[in-house]
């Protein structure tokens, strides 16, 4: 699985499986990245909002893996809704990561975090300003592909209809019990690759008896079933893991979920009270 890739709409290849690094900080983030790369991962996902770009960059450098073999993603802070602010944060990411280029940089959210799901304002003009800055760095070769995160259909239309370069990806919350098929299909129809963050639902899904039963059927863990599910949807999967054991387990996906079981998983009941637990970010999904 670690060798399998998709091709973005600009011809760049991206590994189907990546390592998410949300809530992994300091020296731990560096070691996690080094461990993942040692185990064969070649796709690392971070963000300015995670506060660990410096450590992720160090992990890449100290891994000994050539930079050109690694696909590195980071995210433009959600508050950057004007051109100059966006440019400033792009430069900060390049400096923090200490690299000559970023493989993929995406707008982290169409709304600033303080207003996520708290306002009808979708910041259309602000997102166009941020996109203009990303386009500039893309043309300079400092970013190899540009995209968005947490964008809904109308947010995507705003970018597609008013800018020069179409988003290469839309990174969204997608997992068993939360599969936004209308949004996924819209992205596919417009040649925008979907990336699934939190494919294991922040861990809340691990004790679901119906999912456990299906995982047992395939002789895999619930986490492996969840990750494979998002990949079989045709999306990139970005599970977060901090131990060598989980990082390695998450990459062992040499099985295929049947079409019938995929339909079952698409229709599993939404987790009750999902999003109210302390592990879910109250500031609107900064992951």
Active site residues: 50
d(CA 47, CA 85): 16
d(CA 167, CA 247): 29
d(CA 218, CA 142): 43
d(CA 13, CA 28): 28
d(CA 270, CA 287): 20
- For residues 40-67, one letter each, b for 16 or more C-beta atoms within 10 angstroms of the residue's C-beta and e for the rest, the string is ebbbbbbbbbbebbbbbbbbbbebebee
Phi, psi of 271, deg, nearest 5: -60, 130
d(CA 123, CA 139): 24
Contact 33, 23 (CB under 8 A): no
- Adjacency order of strands within the sheet including 43-45: 19-20, 43-45, 71-76, 102-107, 143-149, 169-173, 193-197, 236-238
């Amino acid at each position: 699985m670690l060798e399998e890739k998709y091709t973005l709409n600009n011809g760049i290849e991206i590994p189907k499986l990546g390592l998410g690094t949300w809530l992994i900080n300091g020296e731990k983030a560096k070691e996690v990245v080094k461990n993942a790369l040692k185990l064969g991962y070649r796709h690392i996902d971070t963000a300015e909002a995670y506060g660990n770009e410096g450590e992720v960059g160090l992990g890449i450098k100290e891994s000994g893996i050539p930079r050109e073999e690694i696909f590195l993603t980071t995210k433009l802070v959600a508050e950057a809704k004007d051109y100059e602010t966006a440019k400033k944060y792009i430069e900060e990411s390049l400096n923090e990561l200490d690299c000559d280029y970023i493989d993929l940089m995406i707008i982290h959210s169409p709304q600033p975090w303080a207003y996520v799901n708290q306002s009808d304002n979708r910041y259309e003009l602000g997102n166009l300003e941020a996109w203009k800055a990303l386009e500039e760095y893309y043309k300079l070769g400092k970013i190899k592909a540009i995209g968005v995160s947490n964008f809904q259909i109308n947010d995507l239309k705003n970018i597609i209809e008013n800018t020069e370069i179409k988003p290469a990806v839309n990174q969204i919350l997608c997992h068993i019990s939360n599969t936004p098929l209308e949004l996924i299909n819209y992205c596919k129809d417009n040649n925008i690759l979907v990336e699934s963050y939190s494919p294991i639902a922040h861990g809340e899904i691990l004790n679901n008896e119906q999912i456990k039963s299906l995982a047992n059927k395939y002789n895999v863990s619930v986490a492996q079933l969840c990750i494979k599910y998002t990949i079989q949807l045709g999306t990139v999967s970005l599970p977060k893991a901090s131990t060598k054991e989980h990082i390695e387990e998450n990459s062992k996906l040499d099985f295929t979920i049947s079409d019938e079981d995929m339909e079952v998983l698409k229709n599993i009941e939404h987790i009750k009270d999902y999003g109210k637990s302390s592990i879910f970010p109250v500031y609107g999904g900064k992951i």
